[in-house]
Chain A
Amino acid sequence: DTEVTQTPKHLVMGMTNKKSLKCEQHMGHRAMYWYKQKAKKPPELMFVYSYEKLSINESVPSRFSPECPNSSLLNLHLHALQPEDSALYLCASSHYNEQFFGPGTRLTVL
């Protein structure tokens, strides 16, 4: 298995909802990342997990809560989001110097 999978593909949620994004890889990579990409912009780093521990939080608001239950799985828990949080959320895992991206979850906050 040489891919990163993300579910769901699309998500629409209200500002009071709680939802989660899921990312999975079975390539044995020990670093995993969440990026946020707004329309017509490059991806921006949100979080980095290294060996299942959060190593970098790029000053992301607390309404985004990452979790790494095991070496293959990365979650992003969402609560009380704002409409400006609507974006494509990309997960990646890395092997040495190369990152492998998932297809992303397109999130719309109403």
Chain B
Amino acid sequence: AQSVTQPDIHITVSEGASLELRCNYSYGATPYLFWYVQSPGQGLQLLLKYFSGDTLVQGIKGFEAEFKRSQSSFNLRKPSVHWSDAAEYFCAARSLSQGNLIFGKGTKLSVKP
């Protein structure tokens, strides 16, 4: 069965520092991959998506992610974190059998001044 793993439950970074959130997926073929952000009490906002082609994808708010087939990874990066980036981040893959999204457990990002 398809699954998405986010190894880090909680990450704290200093404002202005770089960020990398890890995501691994389990499926042989190339999945459709997404990163979402969710602020407390809010819905999900799509940051970026990967379907095919260039393995480095750019998203909103200065985020990017790189798809690495050899490592089954789709890590999210940002060169300089802002305090407003503090939120929960979910990596997701589209289920090939049902069309819904399969989510990782999420990584909570805290930003310290």
Partner-B contacts on A (CB < 8 A):
31, 33, 35, 40-43, 45, 48, 50, 55-56, 88, 90, 92, 94, 97-99, 101-104, 106
17 new A-B contacts at CB < 8 Å, known A42-B103, A56-B100, A99-B101: A33-B100, A41-B105, A41-B106, A42-B105, A43-B90, A45-B101, A50-B99, A55-B98, A92-B101, A94-B99, A97-B51, A98-B32, A98-B34, A98-B49, A99-B94, A99-B100, A101-B36
Q: How large is the interface on B (under 10, 10 to 19, 20 to 34, 35 or more residues)?
A: 20 to 34
- What are 13 of the A-B contact pairs (CB < 8 Å)? A31-B99, A33-B100, A41-B105, A42-B90, A43-B90, A45-B100, A50-B99, A55-B98, A56-B98, A94-B99, A99-B101, A101-B36, A104-B43
A43 near B41 with CB under 8 A, answer: no
Q: B44 near A: Cβ within 8 Å? A: yes
Residue of B nearest to A33 (CB): B100
Q: Which of A33, A43, A55 contacts B103 (CB 8 A)?
A: A43
Q: Which of B31-77 contact A (CB under 8 A)?
A: 32, 34, 36, 41-44, 46, 49, 51
Q: Shortest CB–CB separation between residue A7 and chain B, in angstroms?
A: 13
A42 near B106 with CB under 8 A, answer: yes
Q: Shortest CB–CB separation between residue B72 and chain A, in angstroms?
A: 19
